[in-house]
Amino acid sequence: MNRTANKWLFVSRPFTANGTTSGLVQVSDTIGFFVGQVVRIVSTTAQPVIGKVNRVINKTSLVVVSQSDDQPLNLSSYTVADSATITAYEQSIPRIKIDEILPNVYEHEPATAIRTLPVDYSGEPYTPNNPLPTADWTNHQMAPAEYDAVQIVRDTDGRPLQYRFYLNSVLMRTINVTYNIDRLPIYYQRV
């Protein structure tokens, strides 16, 4: 993730398509770009321009507008042939006012609830066309019956970091566990 609790971190991407008059920028990956983030767009032939991200459309497209009046920037002179690049330097994350949070997460009737929606890293909801990533364990067994002992190595919070499987006191298999930022297991690696 390209952020800390208080800062957006540096990110830079070359254009993968020529800029447009409507501020549309296409890059290989929009990870690290956030709405409201100040960006700098450069190329070898056009003057650098400063704007802000108005919308991250999907995993490869975003819209940049003027900082002063939120009008889309004319980026048609920024081309792939001229090495156009969009860069966001490290910057503080703007604070959301406390009275703006609830209206932005509240789902009105008939639900009348706080919205919680699982999304991928770019903010797109999981759907049949954008499925939740899962591991295929069809042909794997974590602890087959032929092992007679399992040793679990834990971190200081008690979360398993590694499973060691033994047969007759001989280490037969090791599985390492990786956690995401929310402390949920996301990856099991057989060693």
Task: State pLDDT tens for residues 90-146.
Answer: 999 888 888 888 887 887 777 777 877 777 777 778 888 888 877 665 555 555 557
Joined together, the tokens standing for residue 165 give: 């499987």
Q: What is the pLDDT of residues 5-42, one digit of tens each?
A: 788 899 999 999 999 999 999 999 998 999 999 999 99
Most confident of 79-93, 118-132, 144-158, 168-182: 79-93
Measured CA to CA in angstroms, residue 121 lies from 57, 87, 135, 147, 164 at distances of: 13, 19, 17, 38, 32
Instruction: Specify whether the CB–CB gap between 86 and 39 falls below 8 A.
Output: yes
Flag whether the pTM goes above 0.75: no
On the 0-12 / 13-18 / 19+ scale of CB atoms within 10 A, 191 is exposed
